Amino acid sequence: MALYTQEERSRRDASPWTVVQGVLAPLQFLVFLASLVLVLRYLATGEGFAAATTSVVVKTVLLYTIMVTGSIWERAVFGRYLFAPAFFWEDVVSMLVLALHSAYVVSLLLGALAPRAQMALALAAYGSYVVNAAQFVFKLRAARLEARDAPQDGANSVAAGLPT
């Protein structure tokens, strides 16, 4: 079964949200890598809690941004904000990613967890993010292969968006 119908592919290629997703996804990944280093450094040495905390918050803000813009992208392409059949499981895992990141922020704001436990929660959130990012990379590859094999109508074949 094709990931996109011809109409969906045309809407995807025409949507400015495709470009937004294409910029935000790698930016979020770079922030994730930097933050992961800071979190692991804190857990290993006990130093740099403020830097690690700031990095997780920045990563979470980017996550919310990509989730909102990804929902807009999904609406523009598939006619629904979330759980379009082509991205159903990616959206399901995205909800887990969002829940874990949100739990981190809530624990930070309420002081509900000790610093090491907060960082452990951040690592759990990051683990779910890695799974979700892999899902979207797989879909991106599938979309590129599909576009390569699909008859071209002159439309620009932009890569699929990466909502998380």
What is the rounded distance in angstroms from the CA atom of residue 77 to the CA atom of residue 87?
A: 11
Please count the structural domains in the chain: 1
What is the rounded distance in angstroms from the CA atom of residue 153 to the CA atom of residue 137?
A: 25
For residue range 119-140, list pLDDT tens digits in order. 999 999 999 999 999 999 998 8
Q: In angstroms, what CA-CA distances link 66 with 31, 94, 112, 120, 147? A: 13, 11, 27, 23, 24
* 161 falls within a domain: no
* 155 falls within a domain: no
* 164 falls within a domain: no
Q: For all residues of the chain together, what is the average pLDDT?
A: 90
Residue 137 belongs to what domain range? 17-148
* 11 falls within a domain: no
Question: pTM (2 decimals)?
Answer: 0.85
Lowest mean pLDDT among 46-50, 135-139, 159-163: 159-163
What is the rounded distance in angstroms from the CA atom of residue 62 to the CA atom of residue 162?
A: 13
**Rounded average pLDDT over 1-30:** 92
